[in-house]
Amino acid sequence: MKQLALFESAPRVSFDEATVGLIAKLFGETTSLSVVGALLKTKGLHHSAGSWEQLFEKRIKPALGAGTLAMPELKRWLAQAEEFGRCHSFLYRAKATVARDLLHEDKVHAAATKNGVARLITNPLVLDQPDRPTIADVRYDDDPRGRSLVVKVVEKREERTFVGERVEGDRVIKEWTRKDARAVNVARLYPSGIFEIRVQSHWSSVNYENDVARVWRMVSDFFPPANFSPLSLAPAKKDLWDRKDQLKKAVRFSDSTMRNHNGTTLTAATGEEQSDLLEDTGAKASVDMFLSHGAYWDGSNVWWLKRDESEVPSKDIHVLLSGKTNEFAVTANCTKRDFEYVFDQLLAALG
Amino acid sequence: MSSTNYWRLLVDRHPEAVAVINRLADVFASSGKVVVHYDRLLDLVHPASQAQFAEVMRQLVRDKKLREVIRVESAKGGGIGDFSSLEDVPDTIHDWRTDQNVEVTADMLRVVYEYPHPRA
């Protein structure tokens, strides 16, 4: 009773109910109850709930009101949930001196002001499906790779789903339904010069050039394109295969596509999702043989495997190393930690 | 029941198909796990009668010696979904090898057999 009295008499912190409601909706679309519950637990807050409604009404809103959870922190959690996984990333490189200059607070503030988004530096937007692509966040993130600048663009896209076909007279008519979908895209620059444009995956497309161009146009004042050149992942694809025996417990290969300068393409693809190409001695030998005759890597379909001896990745992570030479895709939703693990593994494989 | 005895019993049940059964026994019994398309089996077994061959295959599936699936294959190669019947195959499927949803067309379908049956 004493605790309840203390709670009731504690100063209430006001918060925007509409924004919290939208965050609840977006959490529901991008992550799981257990993930957000775990985040509450790290702060020593009540975290159990059987539904999103319960989690927000009985845990998150009371914590916001009591000041034990702040809105910026909730927005950061949303960023972690929505920015990683189900994405195609494109890597570029700038000189480290150029990157450090672009990362300077004065430069960032000037670019943000020019784009009318300076207020976002301290107060990111929470957007569902804006009518036009919109810069929603401009922030610095700290991680072992250094302090990066992250600019987030949220947009509405049209996704099409095939429904079926019917015959009418001498015509065969195929039908698709159109549906608006939300997409979260991110541009991120490190002091080393490594630059990433991360585009949310489409359901029915493999060509992301237009998406990359559109996102980059929006963030070009922060990251002027002339400073960057594509960072090819070809050395990483080669390195992963060269070290395949060492990486046996960490990486599983599903598909490998190689080309040579005669224009010949060779693909080795496993029969099933869980199969490992390396367990097929004939396929493994064929790939090695083709490579030894001057072939080069075109595409690779790999899984970074969950291992007992490590917390990351938290589950098997499927990565496509195909498309553009500087492109990789993490095809399923994943945690920030798991995405960063894959990111680091790829950078390490680049040497 | 040992594998050898099973094939002998199968011949007793389908004496007209003894040549087909013996060739199938050679294909499946000679190595570990075998995953093979129907068409490949036709090439290996070259049955005189397709109807007879189909009946023997149906018997092997009924006896759970073989697992039969309808496999949807990616345009890039490799399976992207296994289904127990044509009716279960969806109109669209997510091709995890290319990360896009694709319309399933007849040319993407293969009847695939796995030996031994995973539940044997």
Return residues 136-175 of A near B (CB < 8 Å): 161-164
| pLDDT value for A4 | 42
Q: Which is higher by pLDDT, A104 or A325?
A: A104
A301 close contact with B: CB closer than 8 A = yes
Distance of CA B38 to the CA centre of its chain: 5
CB atoms A162 and B71 under 8 Å: no
How many Cα atoms sit within 13 Å of B82 on the Cβ side? 15
The reported pLDDT for the residue numbered B33 is 82
**CA proximity to A122, closest of A191, A76, A65:** A76
At residue A180, the pLDDT reads 94
Say whether pLDDT at B2 is over 80.
Answer: no
Residue B46 scores a pLDDT above 90:
no
- The pLDDT, as a whole number, for residue B1 is 67
> Rounded to whole angstroms, what are the CA distances from A66 to A13, A43, A189, B117?
6, 13, 36, 60
pLDDT at residue B31, rounded to an integer: 64
Inter-chain CB proximity A161 and B102 less than 8 Å: no
Query: Which of the four pLDDT bands, split at 50, 70 and 90, describes residue B49?
Result: confident
8-state DSSP, A309 = T
Q: Which residues contact B77 (CB under 8 A, 6 or more apart)?
A: A255, A267, A269, B97
What is the predicted pLDDT for the residue at B120? Answer: 67
Give how far B15 is from chain A: nearest CA, Å: 34
Q: Give residue-wise pLDDT tens across range B56-85.
A: 999 999 999 999 999 999 998 899 999 999
**What's the pLDDT score for residue A67?**
94
User: Given this model, what pLDDT does residue A91 score?
Assistant: 97
Higher pLDDT, B26 or B31: B26
pLDDT at position B12: 92
Rounded distance between C-alpha atoms, residue B68 and residue A106, angstroms:
65
Residue of B nearest to A302 (CA): B97
Distance CA B56, CA B7 (A): 11
The residue type at A133: P
pLDDT recorded at residue A1 = 41
Mapped onto helix, strand or coil, the DSSP state of residue B40 is helix
Long-range pairs, B27-32, Cβ under 8 A, ≥24: B28/B65, B28/B66, B28/B115, B28/B116, B29/B3
Q: What is the mean pLDDT of residues A145-159?
A: 96
Burial class (CB in 10 A: 0-12, 13-18, 19+), A50: exposed
The closest alpha carbon to A323, from A253, A233, A226, belongs to A233
Mean pLDDT of chain A: 92
Q: Write out the E strands in chain A.
A: 85-93, 134-143, 146-168, 171-189, 194-200, 229-230, 251-259, 265-269, 296-304, 317-321, 327-333
| pLDDT tops 50 at residue A5 | no
With tokens 């089996």, the residue in question is: B41
Strand partners, A317: A304
A194: DSSP letter = E
Of A326, A89, A93, A107, nearest in space to A193 by CA? A93
CB contact under 8 A, A269 and B78: yes
pLDDT of residue A2: 41
What is the Cα–Cα distance from B42 to B38, expressed in whole angstroms?
6
A49-69 pLDDT, tens digit per residue, is 999 999 999 999 999 999 999
Distance (Å) from the alpha carbon of A166 to chain B's nearest alpha carbon:
13
